[in-house]
């Protein structure tokens, strides 16, 4: 895992949070990084500049992963810029939390379309290219709640549980062609959003974590890079939880 030199990785939702850290770590390991974004243009331009300043190679591609034609554009842009796609990290995700009784159809559909269908769209768009080359790594970002469920997040949980099923199915379809497909399930990860929570809420969540601390975006990115590396060549169809023992 010393270097991903000459390998190309697409990271969806790469402009901030976990996605941003994944992009940075791949760039530091000499990969060609294709950073997908949809709305955070200022942040993604800042990230691109930061990567280029330390000598990394990256491009940015705007696209809505819930739209199949957009995902095809993302993959085509990667191939045009760097000649191939070796690694796909499906990180894009949104939340529209609400209790079931109050959740609107739009809140349900938008989360499913971005999180689950978006993951399917990206896998669909890169499949022919990876199958032709008989090599590739697909890493899907799911969530601890996709395993255990969570009140007030029926849409988000359904999307993340669906990603787990999709990951396991694709691993069986693609394995004979040398393509691995795995998922990473983060638990409670420290971000700007969690920093704004009250001390009482933080203590509540910490009490459920045996390691007694929140995870970091680096913890998740480290796991993604491991699954993308040669060291993980015999791992496929798996869900690796990064949650401090929460489940």
Taking the model in full, what pTM does it have? 0.96
Q: Is 37 a catalytic residue?
A: no
DSSP string, 10-42: EETT-SSHHHHHHHHHHHHTT-EEEEEESS-HH
Q: What is the pLDDT of residues 78-106, one digit of tens each?
A: 999 999 999 999 999 999 999 999 999 99
Q: Which of 103-107, 138-142, 197-201 has the lowest mean pLDDT?
A: 197-201
- Tell me how far apart the alpha carbons of residues 202 and 190 are, in angstroms, rounded to a whole number: 10
User: Which residue is catalytic, options 37, 156, 204, 205?
Assistant: 156
pLDDT band at 193 (very low <50, low <70, confident <90, very high): low
Which pLDDT belongs to residue 93?
A: 95
Which pLDDT belongs to residue 1?
A: 59
Q: What is the pLDDT of residues 102-127, one digit of tens each?
A: 999 999 999 999 999 999 999 999 99
Task: Report the relative pairing of strands 8-11 and 32-37 from DSSP bridges.
Answer: parallel
Q: What is the 3-state secondary structure (H, E, C) of 73-129?
A: HHHHHHHHHHCCCCEEEECCCCCCCECCCCCCHHHHHHHHHHHHHHHHHHHHHHHHH
């Amino acid at each position: 895992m010393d270097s991903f030199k000459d390998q190309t990785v697409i990271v969806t939702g790469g402009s901030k949070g976990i996605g941003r850290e994944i992009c940075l770590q791949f760039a530091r390991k000499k990969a060609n990084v294709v950073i997908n974004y949809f709305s955070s243009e200022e942040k993604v331009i800042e990230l691109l500049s930061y990567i280029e300043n330390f000598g990394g190679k990256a491009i940015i591609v705007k696209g809505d992963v819930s739209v199949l034609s957009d995902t095809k554009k993302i993959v085509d842009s990667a191939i045009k810029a760097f000649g191939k796609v070796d690694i796909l990290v499906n990180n894009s995700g949104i939340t529209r939390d609400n209790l079931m009784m109050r959740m609107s159809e739009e809140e349900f559909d938008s989360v499913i379309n971005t999180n689950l269908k978006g993951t399917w769209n990206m896998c669909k768009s890169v499949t022919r290219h990876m199958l032709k080359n008989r090599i590739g790594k697909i890493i899907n970002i799911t969530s601890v709640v996709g395993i255990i469920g969570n009140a007030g997040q029926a849409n988000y949980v359904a999307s993340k549980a669906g990603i787990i099923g999709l990951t396991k199915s694709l691993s069986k379809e693609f394995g004979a062609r040398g393509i691995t497909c795995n998922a990473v399930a983060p638990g409670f990860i420290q971000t700007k959003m969690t920093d704004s929570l009250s001390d009482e809420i933080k203590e509540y969540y910490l009490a459920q974590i045996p390691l007694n601390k929140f995870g970091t975006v680096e913890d998740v990115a480290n796991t993604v890079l491991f699954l993308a590396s040669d060291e993980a060549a015999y791992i496929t169809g798996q869900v690796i939880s990064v949650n401090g023992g929460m489940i």
